A and B are shown apart, each in its own frame.
Chain A
């Protein structure tokens, strides 16, 4: 398997020999990968290949699924996130997540964003909280569209706006890593383009890992791409290499539309 060759990047998270089981059945098998702090990393692969399961292992989302078990080691800045002393709530603040379907709380736009900083005690007072809300909405590219209706319900926004609201919510707690699981697959092309532009803007400030079925999207937004198949990491490399000259036949068959 070829690894990305550039050495100038800093690794933010790394998985070492990670397997994820649902009951006895392995969904992810012995995967090792480094996630760069500066780059957007895309996980691609056919349905059921384990990419989303693997992504969820990065902030222990699988803990909430009965019968799910993770083996191996996942590190955040060298620290084992499955260590017994790890505060999972704290971990998920550092490693945020955006899901396929926008899932704003049934509260106001303001409250959707303010909720995280408030429970994590990140704001000393109302003014500071207002600042965090505005800053997060700005970075999520939503501020201009919602600044005059912050007290309206988050669920009243369009699908694309809701997804950007969820991204604003994720960045409000100042995470280090943002995991995105099919963040644009329920959106129309314009809303998708806005999410992709947002990913581009957020790159560098946060380590971003995105799972996508849309290979063009992976090609557009990521600098590194990992191809998963049948629970295995088949190939991981520079996105431009993976899409122009993949080394492994299985990768090639998948990205050229010959799979299955």
Chain B
């Protein structure tokens, strides 16, 4: 939907601008957490992983701030139409981004548990998967800020690639576990890492749906959302 002029009441525009900036900052932190957690995992950097875990507190604080901002906006500005949809989307997106941060934190927490263990091959697929997940988060928040429904729909399309990755990593790890029980601990951790990344993709897709709704007022159809990789198996 085309952007019209600013509100007659300028303070309204400022409030909405601040809210978007906040969501953007959260998105940046979550994206950074994903790539840092993956870097720490690949390099077995326990210190770096700890930094990711600690940085998550900031995301939690920002989520609380965004929630307070939305409540204030609704109470004081009585937003209507696209403004109202924007406010509701911001509230939900903040919660989802916080959750994405939790998944990244979970990946980081596994780094110390893997210390001293061997490396198995499927590990090499994870950085690319993490890159896609982080990019989805990045793009979907860009789409939110730009109110760009088309860009949000593209994010949903990418979720399929992530699901494909997850399925092949799942099979590969299963094979490794069957070949040598010694691999089971590491393989199980990596399976969780892959699962976390796959969930991040799903959450980015959820955000995309909210962006589409905020921007157009239309709900995305079930078909557009991408299928659950485990459904139907």
Contacts and interface: CB of A to CB of B under 8 A. Distances in A.
Interface of A: 215-216, 219, 243-246, 249, 251-253, 255-260
Interface in B168-226: 217
A74 B81 CA distance: 31
B8 A246 contact: no
A133 B59 CA distance: 64
Residue of A215, A243, A252, A257 with most partner-chain B CB within 10 A: A257
Given A243-B81, A245-B81, A252-B82, A258 B2 contact: no
Contacts of B12: 257
B84 A253 contact: no
B106 to A, nearest CB: 36
28 contacts: A215-B80, A216-B78, A219-B80, A243-B80, A243-B81, A243-B84, A244-B81, A244-B85, A244-B217, A245-B81, A246-B81, A249-B2, A252-B4, A252-B81, A252-B82, A253-B5, A255-B80, A255-B81, A256-B7, A256-B79, A256-B82, A256-B83, A257-B8, A257-B80, A258-B4, A258-B6, A258-B7, A260-B8
B9 A257 contact: yes
Contacts of B81: 243-246, 251-252, 255-256
A222 B47 CA distance: 60
Given A256-B79, A256-B83, 14 more contacts: A216-B78, A244-B84, A245-B85, A245-B217, A249-B2, A249-B4, A253-B4, A255-B80, A256-B81, A256-B82, A257-B8, A257-B12, A257-B80, A259-B8
A132 to B, nearest CB: 40
Interface string B43-57: 000000000000000
The interface residues of chain A, by DSSP majority, are classed as helix
Interface size on B, as a range, is 10 to 19
A32 to B, nearest CB: 24
Contacts of B217: 244-245
A164 to B, nearest CB: 26
Contacts of A260: 8
Contact of A258 (B8, B78, B84, B85): B8
CB-based closest 4 A-B pairs: A245-B217, A255-B80, A257-B7, A256-B83
Nearest to A242: B81
Contacts of B9: 257
A63 to B, nearest CB: 36
A219 B81 CA distance: 12
Residue of B6, B80, B82 with most partner-chain A CB within 10 A: B80
A216 B12 CA distance: 17
A259 B9 CA distance: 10
Nearest to A247: B217
B44 to A, nearest CB: 51
Contacts of A255: 80-81
Contacts of A246: 81
B5 A256 contact: no
A246 B2 CA distance: 13
A214 B224 CA distance: 39
B119 to A, nearest CB: 52
Interface string B1-35: 01011111100100000000000000000000000
B217 to A, nearest CB: 3
A243 B84 CA distance: 9
A246 B85 CA distance: 12
A260 B8 CA distance: 8
B198 to A, nearest CB: 32
Nearest to A241: B217
A259 B6 CA distance: 9
Contacts of A215: 80
A216 B75 CA distance: 12
Nearest to B6: A258
Nearest to A243: B80
A55 B83 CA distance: 30
